[in-house]
Every structure is written in C-alpha cells, then in structure tokens.
Amino acid sequence: MTGPTMQAGDRHSRGSVYIGALVALAILGEMLSQFGVLWATQDRRAREADLLAHGNKIRRAIGAYYDANPAGQYPKRLDELVLDPRQPVVARYLRRAWRDPLPKGGEWGIVPGPDNGIVGVYSQAPGTPLRVGGFTPANAGFADKGSYQEWIFVHQPEAN
C-alpha cells in the first residue's frame, strides 16, 4: 500500500493558508513599523521636555550665581554652577552639570556675556521641534521656532 494521496482541494487549501500567513506577516510588519514611529516620536517629546527642564534650571542657576555677587558676575564655566569657587562656604546652584538631552549627552552651546562669562545655554542639536506652542511665560519666545538651536535659555538680570 502506498501513502495517502493528496487531493486537488488539499493543495488549494495549503496555498490559501500560505497566502494568509504572508498577508498576516505583512500586516504585522506594518503595525511594528508604525509602533516604531510612535515610539521615536514619544522619545523625542520626552527629550524636548528634558531640554526645557534642564535649560530652565541652568538659566535659574546662572541667575542665582549672578545675584550671589554684588558686582553681578557670570560664571566662566558651567561647572561653577555646581560649586561656586568665589564663595568661602560651599555654594551650589545646580546639583549636577546637566548635559544637553537631545543629542544624548551632548555639550550645550554657550551664550557668551560680559568678561567671558556665560549668560545662557542652547541645544546644538539639529532638527525642528515637535512642540511649537503652549510654553511657560519664561519660554514664550520659543513658540514657532524652526530649530532647537533657537531655544536659548538666557538669564536677564532685573533692571533696578
């Protein structure tokens, strides 16, 4: 006796299962690619939020450093915001020197001020921000900017 013979209908159903599996794989691949785009967008939004938070902390720290000296002096390096060398006691305006979060730990761009001091920072990352509005009053100037490099965190001393 020979083994069971394959009927014509069996071959047709096997082909349908194969085509169905290919369609399911194509749909799964498209879903995974859309998930990847969504994940990348969420990651970028989180980095933008970190950029705003860290940039504002540095701006406030520069202001506190400036106000700590009656002559109004800006730091020469960002590390001086972590430990102020001008003070006889330990003075810290930042817990740590934040890195630019957009290029994953990149260096901040420096806005120079009087006497080679630092009056502000900005991200050197290329790209167009996802966020174009809804900023706090301190960051209102960031609305509708076309580049992260235009988000400049500068300390403006109060006029007396």
d(CA 27, CA 137): 45
Question: Encoding tokens for residue 60?
Answer: 């406030």
The pLDDT score that the predictor gives to residue 14 is: 67
One DSSP character per residue, 73-101 reads ---SSGGGGTS-TTSSS---SSSS-PPBT
- Delimit the domains of the chain by residue range: 47-154
The pLDDT score that the predictor gives to residue 60 is: 95
The pLDDT score that the predictor gives to residue 36 is: 77
Return per-residue pLDDT of the chain as tens, 160 residues.
455 555 555 656 667 888 888 888 888 888 888 787 788 889 999 999 999 999 999 999 999 999 998 888 999 999 999 998 888 888 899 998 888 998 767 899 999 998 899 999 999 999 899 998 999 999 999 999 999 999 999 998 876 5
Spatial contact of 80 and 116, defined as CB atoms under 8 Å apart: no
Q: How far is CA 5 from CA 8, 10, 18, 65, in A?
A: 10, 10, 20, 88
Spatial contact of 90 and 83, defined as CB atoms under 8 Å apart: yes
